[in-house]
A and B are shown apart, each in its own frame.
Chain A
Amino acid sequence: MFIYLLKRVLSVLPVLFLVSVFVFLMLRLTPGDPAAIIAGDNATPETLAAIRDAMGLNEPLLTQYASWITGILGGDFGNSLISGVPVLDLVAQRVGPSISLALMTIIIAIFVAIPMGVIAAWRHRSWIDYLVMSFSVLGFSVPVFLVGYVLLLIFSVQLGWLPPQGFKPIADGLGPFLERAILPALTLASIYIALIARMTRAAMLDVLNEDYIRTARAKGVGEQRLLFVHALKNAAVPIVTIVGAGFALLISGVVVTETIFNIPGIGRLTVDAVLARDYPVIQALILLTATLYVLINLAIDMSYSLFDPRIRY
């Protein structure tokens, strides 16, 4: 068991290493001089040379990578080119709103999507199945920002029920927080619900076809118990997996949603950094989110044995 855990934790190291290589090369191997990109259009040759020297661009690639990664491992992601603030501090300032938004989204999504998927599978090929499936395909097909704008248009512009934009932390009270967070969370949840409902339905359809479901029916088990006791636990592994894989979707959703609703989170930081070509910030954000993604999926992997006794470590 311990050995397995250790092996599993160690197995993410090569992935993280490769991520760091990609992120590093992304900046170095793109056409054009990174120093010129960083210095901006109006830099003098002297500034360029100074930047090139400061970045160690005259060193061999391997040396450059080594010094870069050593810095990062020591917690030094460099300073923002725009504000000069250490990147990690920037991220720390902005992480709160994004996390509360993401958690709220995941809770909404799970409580809405799983029952949707279960019922759709149970009533396979009925109107309710078609309804769930239509919603889910639509969720994949509408750009997230369009959902956001339509919600804004209806609930704050037309009906005036909710404040249009901005963010208040939970510390300021649940009411003000929810008032501002509900539209972004719903926007973000739309695609997540589509994803989870679709996977739940597919996994349940597979399970409902299994022999042991027939056995349960032969015992006289009722439909509700059949679905939520016998079938759902068997379908749990793919559902939990998609919740983890969907985290990537959540990230891109956060970027867009925060832009629309003007929330000062990680997403806004990303967009601002891209528009300002603030490379240390971009690199750090990609590295950090990728690490988070890998760790979340590691945790999900480990959780499989809770649902399925056949998976033992």
Chain B
Amino acid sequence: MAIDRSAADKPFLLRLLSGISPRSTGLGPFIAAFMLLAVIGLTVFSPWIATHDPLAMDPLMRLKPPSEAHLLGTDGYGRDLFSRMILGGRISLMIGVCAAVVALGLGILIGLLAGYFRAADAVIMRAMDALMAMPSILIAIALVALNGPSIGSVVMAITIPEIPRVVRLVRSVVLTVREEPYVEAATALGSSTAKILFRHLLPNTMAPMIVQGTYIIASAILTEALLSFLGAGISTEIPTWGNIMAEGRQFFRITPGIILWPGLLLTICVLSINLIGDAARDGLDPRMKKREA
């Protein structure tokens, strides 16, 4: 019985579009996309949605429960929790996207080199093994502690531990695809190394990279929160989800909402990004489809 490989052969955008339809994936990814759009809308337009100045303190209004004036109550300095939460999300999301872009860019470049040039491979991969061996949260904490609590150093601290994963993924795709007959045929047709790398191999990494990118955004948002929570994040003057929750720690028994509300919004955001990533992966992975057929 011949194997039907038609699904694997389609260009990946087509595969993505044909793979994600309500019939094949269920409603999950669509609900996730809707939730994510809502979170993005809420955070991006936070300056217009916010009911209060997120930085304005009010000593008389400390730790108030939710009321008509303060939708979700106030924090330890009497600042409006809702306004802070949606503004904080904006910075958290931005950090996530930046980390993903930087990690993917560097990772793809290094991965292509490692996958195609045997001489570079051994050295690069040992360095990546070393990076993988160091617990990412420890490197991140140390880097932020050393470089100061700026947004830039937090992005760098989150990005560096993500790079080895991207490199490994790109390299494995390159190693598989370079054995494909069409790549060998390209060699026989006199195509240059650069052309083979960028026209034949690179496009094959795009689908897994889009998926990986979503996972990196999700994990970066979590890591940012974790860093702030441990006191090694962005300077506390800038509200991020992590910083808001970190400040809520000491009031946890009185007003758990300061941790729970931003935590809930963060979870919804990360969850929907992960769900979209999973759906994209299932849509792009022909083996998953074959199982259904």
Q: Which residues of A contact B (CB under 8 A)?
A: 14-16, 18-19, 21-23, 26-27, 30-32, 37, 124, 137-138, 140-146, 149-150, 152-153, 157, 205, 209, 248, 251-252, 255-256, 259, 270-271, 274-275, 277, 282, 285-286, 289-291, 293-294
B145 x A19 contact (CB < 8 A): no
Among all A-B residue pairs, the 9 with the closest Cβ atoms: A252-B137, A18-B130, A141-B271, A251-B135, A146-B263, A141-B270, A30-B146, A290-B133, A290-B134
Give every chain A residue within 8 A of B132 (Cβ-Cβ).
248
A157 x B253 contact (CB < 8 A): yes
Q: Which residues of B contact A (CB under 8 A)?
A: 126-127, 129-139, 141-143, 145-147, 218, 222, 225-226, 229-232, 245, 252-253, 256, 259-260, 263, 266-267, 270-271, 274-275, 278, 291
CB distance from B266 to the nearest CB of A (A): 7
Give every chain B residue within 8 A of A205 (Cβ-Cβ).
291
Interface centre among B141, B245, B271 (most CB of A within 10 A): B141
Give every chain B residue within 8 A of A15 (Cβ-Cβ).
126, 129-130, 133
With CB as the reference atom, state the residue of chain A lying closest to B219.
A140
B225 x A26 contact (CB < 8 A): no
CB distance from B211 to the nearest CB of A (A): 14
B278 x A137 contact (CB < 8 A): yes
B245 x A145 contact (CB < 8 A): yes
Supply 5 A–B pairs (Cβ within 8 Å), ascending by A: A19-B130, A145-B226, A149-B256, A149-B260, A251-B137
- Give Cα distance in the complex from A259 to B259, angstroms: 15
Give every chain A residue within 8 A of B131 (Cβ-Cβ).
22
B271 x A274 contact (CB < 8 A): no
A146 x B267 contact (CB < 8 A): yes
Having A124-B291, A144-B226, A275-B232, one finds 17 other A-B pairs with CB under 8 Å, namely A15-B129, A18-B126, A18-B129, A137-B274, A138-B267, A142-B271, A145-B225, A146-B267, A149-B256, A150-B260, A152-B252, A209-B291, A251-B135, A252-B137, A274-B231, A286-B134, A289-B135
CB distance from B251 to the nearest CB of A (A): 12
- Give Cα distance in the complex from A291 to B134, angstroms: 8
Give every chain B residue within 8 A of A22 (Cβ-Cβ).
130-131, 134
Given the known A-B contacts A15-B129, A142-B267, A149-B256, are A255 and B137 also in contact in the complex, defined by CB atoms under 8 Å? yes
A270 x B141 contact (CB < 8 A): yes
Given the known A-B contacts A141-B270, A293-B133, are A251 and B218 also in contact in the complex, defined by CB atoms under 8 Å? no
Give every chain B residue within 8 A of A21 (Cβ-Cβ).
130
- Give Cα distance in the complex from A269 to B271, angstroms: 31
B229 x A141 contact (CB < 8 A): no
Given the known A-B contacts A15-B126, A149-B252, are A255 and B230 also in contact in the complex, defined by CB atoms under 8 Å? yes
A143 x B229 contact (CB < 8 A): yes
B275 x A252 contact (CB < 8 A): no
Interface centre among B134, B226, B253 (most CB of A within 10 A): B134
Give every chain B residue within 8 A of A157 (Cβ-Cβ).
253
With CB as the reference atom, state the residue of chain A lying closest to B271.
A141
Given the known A-B contacts A15-B130, A248-B132, A289-B134, are A256 and B141 also in contact in the complex, defined by CB atoms under 8 Å? no
Given the known A-B contacts A205-B291, A274-B145, are A141 and B267 also in contact in the complex, defined by CB atoms under 8 Å? yes
B137 x A26 contact (CB < 8 A): no
With CB as the reference atom, state the residue of chain A lying closest to B290.
A209
A143 x B291 contact (CB < 8 A): no
With CB as the reference atom, state the residue of chain B lying closest to A253.
B137
Give every chain B residue within 8 A of A285 (Cβ-Cβ).
138
- Give Cα distance in the complex from A150 to B264, angstroms: 11
A140 x B130 contact (CB < 8 A): no
- Give Cα distance in the complex from A256 to B231, angstroms: 11
CB distance from B170 to the nearest CB of A (A): 18
B231 x A252 contact (CB < 8 A): no
- Give Cα distance in the complex from A205 to B109, angstroms: 32
Complex partner residue of B145 from A124, A143, A282, A293, CB under 8 angstroms? A282
Interface centre among B225, B230, B259 (most CB of A within 10 A): B230
Give every chain B residue within 8 A of A275 (Cβ-Cβ).
231-232
A256 x B133 contact (CB < 8 A): no
With CB as the reference atom, state the residue of chain A lying closest to B132.
A248
Give every chain A residue within 8 A of B129 (Cβ-Cβ).
15, 18
CB distance from A160 to the nearest CB of B (A): 13
CB distance from A258 to the nearest CB of B (A): 11
A293 x B231 contact (CB < 8 A): no
B142 x A282 contact (CB < 8 A): yes
A18 x B139 contact (CB < 8 A): no
Given the known A-B contacts A14-B126, A137-B274, A146-B263, are A271 and B231 also in contact in the complex, defined by CB atoms under 8 Å? yes
Complex partner residue of A252 from B138, B245, B259, B271, CB under 8 angstroms? B138
B252 x A37 contact (CB < 8 A): no
CB distance from A297 to the nearest CB of B (A): 8
CB distance from B56 to the nearest CB of A (A): 27
Give every chain A residue within 8 A of B139 (Cβ-Cβ).
26, 286
